[in-house]
Amino acid sequence: MSRTTHMTRTTMALPSRRAFTGACVAGALTLATGGATARASTPRVPTARAADPTALRAAISDLAHPEATAAQLLVDRQGSRWYGTAGPADVADGRPVRVDDRFRAGSVTKAFVATAVLQLWSQGRVDLDAPLTHALPGLGLPAGFRRIRVAHLLNHTSGLPDHQGLPDLGTPEAVLRHRFDHWTPQRLVDTVTHAPLKFRPGTKQEYRGINYTLLALLIERTTGCGYGEAIAARVLRPLGLTRTLIPGDDPRLHGPHIHGYLRMTDGTLRDATVYEQSASLGEGELVATAEDLFRFQHALFSGALLPPRALEKMFTLPPPTVRMLDGSPARYSMGLQAATVNGTTFWGKSGEAYGYRTRMFATRDLTTRFVLSYTPTPLNAPEDMITRVVTALTSPIQADPHRLGR
Alpha carbon of 67 to those of 63, 99, 115, 126, 275: distances in Å?
A: 5, 21, 33, 44, 21
**CB-CB contact of 275 with 250 (8 Å):** no
Q: What is the pTM of this model?
A: 0.89
* Contact in structure between 226 and 22 (CB atoms under 8 Å): no
Among positive and negative, which fits the CA dihedral 204, 112, 105, 357?
negative
> What is the chain's Cα-based Rg?
20
CA nearest 29: which of 12, 15, 11? 15
- Domains for the chain: give ranges and CATH numbers: 52-403 (3.40.710.10)
3-state SS of the chain? CEEEEEEECCCCCCCCCCCCCCHHHCCCCCCCECCECCCCCCCCCCCCCCCCHHHHHHHHHCCECCEEEEEEEEEEECCEEEEEEECECCCCCCCECCCCCEEEEECCHHHHHHHHHHHHHHCCCCCCCCEHHHHCCCCCCCHHHHHCEHHHHHCCCCCCCCCCCCCCCCCHHHHHHCCCCCCCHHHHHHCCCCCCCCCCCCCEECCCCHHHHHHHHHHHHHHCCCHHHHHHHHHHHHHCCCCCECCCCCCCCCCCECCCEEECCCCCEEECCCCCCHHHCCCCCEEECHHHHHHHHHHHHCCCCCCHHHHHHHCCCCCCCCEECCCCECCECCCCEEEEECCEEEEEEEEEECCEEEEEEECCCCCEEEEEEEEECCCCCCCHHHHHHHHHHHCCCCCCHHHCCC
Give the whole-angstrom CA distance, residue 38 versus residue 16.
9
pLDDT digits (tens, 9 = 90+) for 299-324: 999 999 999 999 999 999 999 999 99
Q: Spell out the residues 6+ positions from residue 312 whose beta carbon is closer than 8 angstroms to its own.
A: none
> What is d(CA 356, CA 103) in angstroms, rounded to the nearest whole number?
7
**Cα 163 to Cα 188: distance, rounded to the nearest angstrom:** 9
Alpha carbon distance, N-terminus to C-terminus of the chain: 28
pLDDT for residue 344:
86
Residue 148: how many CA atoms within 13 Å on its side-chain side? Answer: 29
| Residues paired with residue 347 on neighbouring β-strands, in sequence order | 338, 362
**Nearest to residue 215, comparing CAs of 161, 163, 158?**
158
pLDDT (tens, 9 = 90+) of the chain, 406 residues, equals 444 443 333 333 333 322 222 345 444 433 343 332 233 333 333 334 567 899 999 999 999 999 999 999 999 998 799 999 999 999 999 999 999 999 999 999 999 999 999 999 999 999 999 999 999 999 999 999 999 999 999 999 999 999 999 999 999 999 999 999 999 999 999 999 999 999 999 999 999 999 999 999 999 999 999 999 999 999 999 999 999 999 999 999 999 999 999 999 999 999 999 999 999 999 999 999 999 999 999 999 999 999 999 999 999 999 999 999 999 999 999 999 999 887 889 999 999 999 999 999 999 999 999 999 999 999 999 999 999 999 999 875 344 555 666 6
Return all residues near 157 (Cβ < 8 A) that are at least 6 apart.
201, 202, 203, 204, 205, 206, 318, 322, 330
Amino acid 98: pLDDT: 97
Note the pLDDT of residue 5: 46
* Of 85, 99, 84, residue with least CA distance to 256: 99
Going 181 to 185 to 190 to 193, the CA torsion angle's sign is positive
Task: Give the per-residue pLDDT at 18.
Answer: 29
